[in-house]
Structure 1
Amino acid sequence: MPLLFSASVKSNDLDTLMAMSLEDLSATQITVTTAAKKEQSLSSVPGAVYVISDEQIRRSGVRSIAEALALAPGVQVTKISEFNWQVSLRGLNEVLFNKLLVMIDGRTVFSPLMSGTFWDTVDTVLEDIERIEIIRGTAGTMWGGNAANGVVNIITKHSRDTLGNYLEISAGEHNYREINYRYGMTLSETTTARVFAKGLKSDYYFFNDDQWENYRGGIRVDYFNSDTQIIFESGGYHNKSSHDWLTVGLNKKLNYFYLQPEQFDDYSYGGYISMDVTKQHNQTDYEVSLWADANSSTEPSSNGKFYTIDFEGLLRNRFNSVHELTSGAGIRLVHRHNASYPTGKNDTLPLWGRVTREPKGTDTIYNAYLQLESTLSDTITTTLGTKIEHFTLNHSTELQPQARVLYSYSPLHQWWAGAGRAVVTPSVVDSVTDHYIFTDTAQPISPTQTGRFPVLKFTFGNEEMENESVITWDLGHRYTHSPSLSIDSTVFYSRYKHLRMLDEPYLYCSFGSCRDGVTVPGGLFVQSSHYTNQLNAESVGFETAFHWQPLSNLRIQTSYSFINTEPDCQGLKYCDTDTFGGYPAKYKYQPNHFVSVFSQWDITQAWQLDLWYRYKSAVNSGVTFKNGHKPFDAPSVSTFDVRLAWQEKPDWPKVELIIDALGKEQYEDQPGKAKIEETAYLRASWDFL
């Protein structure tokens, strides 16, 4: 929606804003747009919203959007390779987190193929990001499926704010090299545009020769007059990573299987096009949004293509000074191609992968929503709304209501409370695709001995599963003591139903002999399990963000989050949180405490020193297997990032030295993930006409 992209105070005016008097600050409304699909003051939002400004992104020294999200409370960012991450919000952390809706300028980049976000494909020139708005909590009424735990909206700058040339070159350890170029132009008095291109190369893991490449480019055109705004965007990306790999050969005729090493090149690519039109007329706003994209991946566990077309219309009526009604409707078509089961007598498969007996299909999502905002007095406003969504993938219809109230006790204090329900969009990952992996299993060979044997493990989809859902109650308080001190805090309780998990594994073939009389090659064991949704859970948490400017040249932003999740299920082996498998243990045994402290120090007019400390607590489950292994325990992780920047004059090039995880030896950001370590790099950038 076009109104998602405007702001009355640009985020790069942070220095000016911080120097204002309290009276000036109260008269200046810093706006956000994601909460209600319109421009509104942050202080008038009855929900947990955090804004990461372009200044914070630049000075944090991050190289990706995913890394920047760690600046916000409640967001857990785990680095799983040099250029890949998993991001979750308010717990329930997993690689493809399916309870967070991620958008760029209102266009969804959540993958319907895999029910999650591939963060290595979510990128742009970081200099062109105006801000990142993060809604914590249910937002299903306005945004629909997958806005269960929150929404991340990456908002790029209007092209009139990016005129001229921008060049950025970076290089560092682990063969890291990156170049960004953007050119902005004025086409007429009412129209501006920009084009950009960027390329990146690096080691995928620092400890081997696997290579990572990313190339992307795009265009944005903005038209604006007194009552009409049109935004056109288009672009695409191409990623490649090279890995040492193993394939498995099954010779059914000769009854054996074998492992064969090879070099595997994983490609992912995609493109998008979008058009947003806003028309303002007296007391009514009209908005129309249309976008389409195409994405493809060859990685075995996400092998496939999907094509999406999305259309939405919105009507906003301001009946009087008390009531404003927002209504809208939309349709989304997703056409998918998944990898099919192999055929033939000599089948060669990757070591793991995802396949289906329904390789093609088209899924449709219909939605309509209403939201009424009422100003009941000078201090109390309410928000009531609901969305109805129909999913053809599993022929289900869901309601996603919300109710919120804001009490503005004074210009310094706002209290708010709310409750809402949201669902997770049904996915082919859970329903019509099957995942397999070749590994080994321990099996008894005598009353006193066990041996390890090759096994093919299948996880089958389940078309009968209910949609995952959550109801969240939250209470928040914003306190602005002065322009140099503010605190924003939230407490919440969430109740989840029908979370996906695995049922008890079933040994279908032993030493090559299967229960249906079939013999598989090489005495292979075959184990199967299904997705099911007998898992429920409860989460409680607290989040706070603390902004303090003790000196005119020093700013400190601190956030703290506490989250505790208790799973609840019965009747399955994997319901036991002492079992190494399934999801209950994964959700229960996660870090509870997260801290971020980010300081920005302007040493002189030319020199800047920025420090960023991050911490997540240890996990001590108390679960110990017979062999002494503690599968769920993890040490605490603390990192300290440093950025030193020099720019003599505003029109001179800027030079930055950035060190991630200063002094940190090899460590895992999460157990079982790739090891990472201290990384240093240099970046030079120049913004010129």
Structure 2
Amino acid sequence: MALTAFAPIAFAANQVPEEQDVPDLTGLSMEELLDLDVTSITRTSTDLKNVPSAIYVLNSDAIRRSGATSIPEALRMVPGMHVARIDGNKWAVSTRGFNSQFGTKLLVLMDGRTLYTPMFSVVWWDQEDVLMEDIERIEVIRGSGGSLWGANAVNGVVNIITKKAKNSQGGLVSGQGGSMRQGGGLRYGADLGKQAYLKVYGRYSEYDGSGKIGAVAAGNAGDESRLGKIGFRFDKDIGITDKLTLQGDAFSGFSGGAEQDQPKASAIRTPVVAPPYSRAIATDADLSGHYLLGRWEHRPGNASSTLLRLFWNRNERKANALHSGYQIDSVDVDFQHNIRLNGQHSLVWGSGARLNHNQTENSLDLSWTPSQRLDQIYSLFAQDEITLIPGQWKLTLGGKLEHNPVTEFEWQPSARLSWTPVKKHAFWASVSRSVRTPNWIEQDFGYNTAVLPPVGGGAASPGNPVTLLSLVGNKQMRSETLLGYELGWRGELTEKLASDISLYYYDYDDLCSFAPKSLDLSHLASGYAVQIANFANYGSATVYGGEATVDWQVADTWKLRASYAYAGQQFRLAGDAPAGAFILFKDSFPTHQAMLWSMHKITPQLNLDLNWRFVDGITVEPQSVAAYQELDARLAWDVGHGLELALVGRNLLDKQHAEFGNFIYSVPTTVQREVYATVRWNF
């Protein structure tokens, strides 16, 4: 059987099928694999072989075989993605540069609903703890998606697509438990008649506290977490031309914050202007939220379709010890029209409107000005796929125009060219412009970061004060911009060997930076001065590199996938940048990454999956994180009658290692070796 580098193949035998409309990749030829549909790069169904972009697809079989119990763990399997665990519930996820807990340049979608919050430019992965068995596939674009998806789709787009209610019939029970994690989920799907289907589901998960970094004594770092979630999806076909979907969920949970050299778990140091110039505060957070989404699709024929989507989303997070928190409500309306004008032009266009409203609780440690805010964002996009020579040359031109209340009009155009000289090989190239608009933290935030004691020690005085370092927002922030160039090739070298190579060159401007301002001496009578730093746009950078993936079908029951990613980075400060300015998240992305994934069906009922990965060292100011290599393993037994048992080992090469540094209130912990068992039963 032939291979592909573009969609993982799973060797699944004697299993109860969960989906009737998702093909079993085990039995597909190379040609059939290249005909798999993806939607992220064109916002419409497109053959994978014709996609002029660095796109990678994780299907449900690959997600299961990875042993992942969370989305970030599954994303580790994507070549070129840097996934780093900060502590037991916080993650840094990015691609092609600039990683942090606040992954400001990566847009994440789930069923068309953005998971990107305007407060921090972050995806809170601790609250996106989904039922992994309910994911149909994850499409990952490495590179710009701004011409279709808008601001903040700068260096990548992650599109998580869950299963339809029709393809989730019957019952599902899943669970996991082991040395550091435990949890489980339930799902039930019913046929309501008259082409109407419903599924309901629930999930609960817990993660135990992990190890301290640099701690004198071993112990729990206080970064345990728990989350419960319930949800539903209703799908109905109305005649042969219309489809209606309603779905939603609600969640509630807790995320612990790690200890930083304190006897009390879940505490870090916050500055005060009197000895000992800091105090311990807890960073535990309570979180809750819900969303409701409606989707209507009208398809009168093969040449035209319209789509209308509306969702309301609410997120709440509160750190009780900080006496601070926020609530964000988002309402989004999105309209899309696909039409084939003739044999040469296939057009997709649409418009959208989004309202973001927040309410914050300010404290001595954290504050937002104003404490309430309403942003209105409007957009219009269009993309034309032009067939220049049928079967060989295609040109895709598109762009998105957005208006926001901060930087006003933002234009994000793109041009993509694909060439298929022969059936088994495809080349593509693209040039695009993307922007990342300022988030609310960068504009409205106030945060006291540290205190410098008097010079030489002793008591503070007007002549020798303590210095309070304070970070404040900047209302004049501009959007970060990217001009990106990409090249790629994918092809079948032999019936058992396939490869996918992509190269890129990114030119960033107006990057977010910290910049100190003049010393505020108005508090000298109280024995302290204030050194203010604010967010600014003094940075620029060049990021260049590529990813290469090779698939080898060693035997009918054994497959190997090898990948390598390189990211070179050069950073520059503007000539007028003040002394002490630095670019946020500089050098936080590894230069080299490599992975080797072995998928072996030992017997028709027994699968063994091994995944070795290497990640180069990074810098998270002012800390350095060493390079590491690790091995994950999964041994799965298909018992029959829809029951599968598996044993998973994580990080088997080291007892513990660090993957990321801290930023603001995120204190890193070690990632530890762990073993856990999983069970899945379809009935």
Q: Same fold (TM over 0.5)?
A: yes
1:286 to 276, 283, 306: 306
Q: Distance in 1 between matches of 2:184 and 2:491?
A: 41
* Alignment check: 8 A CA contact 2:270 2:280 kept: no
Query: Which residue of 2 is the match for residue 670 of structure 1?
Result: 660
After superposition, what is the alpha-carbon deviation per residue over 1:427-475, rounded to whole angstroms, capped at 9, x for unaligned?
11111222223455584559xxxxx997532111111111111111101
Q: Which stretch has the larger CA shift, 669-678 or 194-203? A: 669-678
Name the aligned partner's letter for residue 56 of structure 1.
A
- Name the residue aligned to 2:398: 385
Which amino acid is the alignment partner of residue 613 of structure 1?
W
**CA distance in structure 2 between the partners assigned to 1:504 and 1:208 by the alignment:** 37
The residue that corresponds to 2:173 in the other structure is: 167
Change (3 A) 1:294 1:488: same
Call closer, same or farther: CA 1:134–1:11 in 2, change over 3 Å.
Answer: farther
d(CA) in 1 for partners of 2:323, 2:41: 34
Matches within 5 A, 1:358-397: 358-378=370-390, 379-392=392-405, 394-397=406-409
Is the CA contact 1:408–1:415 (under 8 Å) kept in the aligned structure 2? yes
TM, length-normalised to structure 2: 0.87
Matches within 5 A, 1:106-145: 106-145=112-151
In the alignment, which of 197, 221, 239 is matched to residue 192 of structure 1?
Answer: 197
2:333 to 308, 311, 314: 311
- Taking a change above 3 Å as real, the CA distance of residues 194 and 297 of structure 1, as seen in their structure-2 partners, is same
CA gap of 1:589–1:387, structure 2 versus 1, over 3 A, is: closer
Looking at structure 2, the residues matched to 593 and 301 of structure 1 have their Cα atoms a distance apart, in angstroms, of 42
- Give the whole-Å Cα distance in 1 for the aligned partners of 2:101 and 2:529: 27
Q: CA deviation at 1:657?
A: 0.9
| Residue of structure 1 equivalent to 2:77 | 71
Q: Deviations over 1:372-420 (max 9, x none)?
A: 111111210111111110001x152111000111101111110000101
Q: Deviation at 1:320?
A: 0.9
In structure 2, C-alpha distance between the alignment counterparts of 1:491 and 1:365, rounded to whole Å: 33
Q: Does 1:60 align with 2:66?
A: yes
Structure 2: where are the runs of 5+ without partners? Answer: 1-18, 212-218, 257-264, 459-463, 663-667
Cα separation, 2, equivalents of 1:66 and 1:55: 16
8 Å CA contact retained: 1:503, 1:531 = yes
What SS does structure 1 have at the residue aligned with 2:655? Answer: coil
Contact 1:504 1:573 in 2 (8 A): no
Distance in 2 (CA, whole Å) between partners of 1:594 and 1:32 is: 26
- 2: CA distance between counterparts of 1:641 and 1:10? 31
Query: Displacement of 1:646 after TM fit?
Result: 1.1
Q: Shift of residue 202 of structure 1?
A: 2.2
Alignment of 1:536-555 (within 5 A): 536-555=540-559
1:474 lines up with 2:486 in the alignment: yes
Tell whether the 8 Å contact from 2:86 to 2:661 is kept in structure 1 after alignment: no
Measured in 2, the distance between the counterparts of 1:403 and 1:415 equals 14
Q: Pick from 3, 26, 47: which aligns with 1:15?
A: 26
Deviation at 1:231, TM superposition (A): 1.6
- Seen in structure 2, the aligned counterparts of structure 1 residues 488 and 245 have a Cα distance that, compared at 3 Å, is same
* 3-state SS of paired residue (2:133): helix
Deviation at residue 274 of structure 1 after TM alignment: 0.5
SS, match of residue 122 in structure 2: coil
- SS of 2:79's equivalent in the other structure is coil
Q: CA deviation at 1:666?
A: 2.2
Q: Which residue of 2 aligns with 1:490?
A: 502
Alpha-carbon offset, residue 279 of structure 1? 0.6
Which among 407, 416, 427 is matched to residue 415 of structure 1? 427
Match of 1:276 in 2: 295
When residues 674 and 442 of structure 1 are mapped into structure 2, their CA distance, relative to the original with a 3 A threshold, is: farther
| Residue identity opposite 1:385 in structure 2 | G
Say which structure, 1 or 2, has more relative contact order (CA 8 Å, 6+ apart): 2
Q: Structure 1 residues 41 and 496, CA, compared in 2 at 3 Å: closer, same or farther?
A: same
Q: 1:262 to 1:494 in 2, by over 3 A?
A: closer
Contact 1:248 1:257 in 2 (8 A): no
Q: 1:601: which partner in 2?
A: 600
1:679 aligns with 2:674: yes
Q: What SS does structure 2 have at the residue aligned with 1:15?
A: helix
Does the 8 Å contact 1:605/1:648 carry over to 2? no
1:487 Cα deviation from its structure 2 partner: 0.9
Give the direction of change, closer, same or farther, for the CA distance of 1:646–1:558 in structure 2 (3 Å limit): same
1:648 and 2:657 equivalent? Answer: no
CA change 1:94–1:613 in 2 (3 A) is same
Percent identity between matched residues is 27
User: 1:521-555 deviations in whole A, cap 9, x for unaligned?
Assistant: xx455331011101011111111222222111112
Distance 1:592 1:244, change over 3 A: closer
In the aligned structure 2, how far is the partner of 1:68 from the partner of 1:336? 31
Partners of 2:425 and 2:489 within 8 A in 1: yes
Q: Which residue of 2 aligns with 1:297?
A: 317
Deviations 1:534-593 (A, max 9, x none): 101111111122222211111222221100111111346777xxx7x7326x42464210
Match of 1:326 among 348, 357, 363: 348
Secondary structure of 2:97 counterpart: coil
State the SS of the aligned residue for 2:69. coil
* Structure-1 residue corresponding to 2:249: 235
Please tell me whether residue 45 in structure 1 is matched to residue 47 in structure 2.
no
Change (3 A) 1:297 1:633: closer
SS at match of 1:504: strand
Count the aligned residue pairs: 634
In structure 2, C-alpha distance between the alignment counterparts of 1:75 and 1:29, rounded to whole Å: 24
Q: Does 1:636 align with 2:627?
A: yes
SS in 2 for 1:648: strand
Which one-letter code corresponds to 1:658 in the other structure? V
Determine if contact 1:620/1:633 at 8 Å carries over to the other structure. yes
> Letter of the aligned partner of 1:646 in structure 2?
W
Question: How far apart, CA to CA, are the structure 1 residues paired with 2:161 and 2:386?
Answer: 27
Q: Deviations over 1:621-657 (max 9, x none)?
A: 9xxxxxxxx95644211010011111222x1421111
Bigger drift between 479-488 and 228-237 goes to 479-488
* Structure-to-structure mapping, 1:379-528, within 5 angstroms: 379-392=392-405, 394-440=406-452, 443-444=455-456, 456-482=468-494, 484-504=496-516, 506-508=518-520, 515-517=521-523, 519-520=525-526, 523-524=527-528, 526-528=530-532
Aligned to 2:611: 612
Cα distance in structure 1, aligned partners of 2:577 and 2:41 = 41
The TM-score with structure 1 as length reference comes to: 0.87
CA positional deviation for 1:226 = 2.4
**Secondary structure at 1:43's aligned position in 2?**
helix
Provide the C-alpha distance between the structure 2 equivalents of 1:540 and 1:259, rounded to a whole number of angstroms: 42
Check the 8 A contact 1:172/1:680 in 2, yes or no: yes
Contact 1:391 1:426 in 2 (8 A): no
Q: Distance in 2 between matches of 1:413 and 1:259?
A: 61
Aligned partners of 1:502 and 1:530 also within 8 Å = yes
Per-residue CA distance 1:338-359 (angstroms, 9 max, x = gap): 233x4xxxxxx4xxx4312310
Hey, what's the Cα distance between the residues in 2 that align with 1:183 and 1:370?
39
The offset of 1:259, in angstroms, is 6.2
Does the CA-based 8 Å contact 2:323-2:361 persist in structure 1?
no
Unaligned 5+ residue runs, structure 1?
1-7, 343-348, 447-451, 509-514, 622-629
What does residue 218 of structure 1 align with? 231
Counterpart position of 2:583: 583
3-state DSSP of counterpart to 2:44? coil
Letter in 2 for 1:532: A
Q: Would the alpha carbon gap of residues 507 and 317 (structure 1) be closer, same or farther in structure 2, given more than 3 Å must change? A: same
Please list the CA deviations of residues 213-258 of structure 1 after superposition, one character each: whole Å capped at 9, or x if unmatched: 111111011123522222211102112134533687979xxx8898
What SS does the corresponding residue of 1:503 show, helix, strand or coil?
A: strand
Kept in 2: contact 1:12–1:54 (CA 8 A)? no
